[in-house]
Amino acid sequence: MSRESELQSAIAASAAVSGSTDSVIIKSTVTTSGTATTSGTAKSIPTTTLGSGTLGSGTLGSAAARVAASRPGDYDGCPPGRSRPDPTLPSGPPLPARATGPRRSTRPDVADQSKTLGEQVLLAFFIVVPLLALLAAVPLAWGWGLGWHDLVIGAVMYLITGFGVTVGYHRLFTHGSFRTGRPLRIILAVAGSLAIEMGVTDWVAAHRRHHKYSDQAADPHSPWRFGHHGRGLAKGFLHAHVGWLFHPERTAPETFCPDLLADRDIAAISARFPWLVAASVLLPPLVGGLWSMSWAGAATALFWGALVRIALLHHVTFSINSICHTIGTRPFAARDRSSNVWWLAIPSLGESWHNLHHADPTSARHGVLPGQIDPSAALIRLFEKLGWAHDVRWPTAKRIAARRVDAGAGR
């Protein structure tokens, strides 16, 4: 199959699954450099109302519609052809019957099986207990200080799990911003799982669904769900930050990430998520105890290297969903309210340059303007130089300029 035909087939398959009416490609060509371009007409993005406000209208909405029309099918965040199983990777067994047989749910985005009470209780435990530890951390550090053993263990675990989420879960598995070999894929999937956010297939499914419906009614975590002012916005902010996790509805991985379900390694790692949760909690005290050869060292490492670290990364990640869709700057055209928040750039490892990410979801770099620090992009660049990553989707100056809000001025 030619590359042009593959591109057309992938877009058609994506449209068939999602039922999206955002845009329809008419003609596609592939340049000699391998860059896909499109021509023809595309349907405009429909105006979507959330609460009492409207998205998709006005100057920003018009710019977003212009950019979306030039890139049909790109707003699901997964590039054409990369949402399907990769033949170079080991494939797993056929999808289970619930994924291929008749579905009880009439909504393809929603899984047949809701979250169980036990799952919600465990979720609450691993969100609330680390949060309490984080709240206690400031007075404890002020009164007794923070040992350098605990600081090193906590920082190393934060970077391992943080990059596991940003580089692995997000830029590799969700958006296909680069490709890598089997060993690094496994390492990144395990590292992301140690963050105790979700198993890799559930996380990717929820995030691809978020991009498909960003700040629309079907977005699983839009802060604009309940209104644009006062109590409604406050309720929506809390919902986007953490409340959505407790909703019994589960996003269907078979709809949003069949590529990962068909990957034997990733499916196995996702199935063993509970064991990785235990490892994330127990590894710091094990290292701390052996390092200091004391039970006290194990206890402080459990507090700082496990509980405080888990809570800090949780709420930095949650802030991308809440803060970065509420306040900040929007220099790029996107069809939602995604924004850049500079003071979250370092703790989020570059994820808070969120406006560019929603304007160009498959870009390997989110911080593209001068002075925008993006540690995750730097790590991908290192992987590329070492030969561990290839087909990296680095943004070009032309691509960035085309996505600026004022790019269509004078046309």
Indicate the domain borders of the chain. Answer: 3-402
Statement: residue 87 has pLDDT above 90: no
Phi first, then psi: give them for residue 360, nearest 5 degrees.
Answer: -145, 75
For range 350-379, the mean pLDDT: 98
Distances (CA, A) of 362 to 221, 354, 358, 359: 20, 12, 9, 9
End-to-end Cα spacing for the chain: 37
b/e map of 213-237 (b: 16 or more CB within 10 Å)?
bbbbeebbbbbbbbbbeeebbebbb
Give me 251's structure tokens: 């996003």
Q: Of 215, 181, 201, 237, give the one whose Cα is nearest residue 75.
A: 215
Q: How many residues does the chain have?
A: 411
The 3-state DSSP class for residue 253 equals helix
Q: How far apart are CA 342 and CA 172, in angstroms?
A: 23
DSSP for residue 83: S
CB 66: neighbour CB atoms within 10 A? Answer: 17
**pLDDT for residue 22:** 34
Q: Of 260, 90, 111, 251, give the one whose Cα is nearest residue 174.
A: 260
**pLDDT for residue 53:** 37
The 3-state DSSP class for residue 343 equals helix
Q: Which of 53-57, 208-212, 385-389 has the lowest mean pLDDT?
A: 53-57
The answer to whether the CB of 352 falls within 8 A of the CB of 320 is: yes
Cα 406 off chain centre by: 27
Residue with tokens 């127990």: 282
Comparing 31 with 300, the larger pLDDT belongs to 300
Q: pTM above 0.95?
A: no
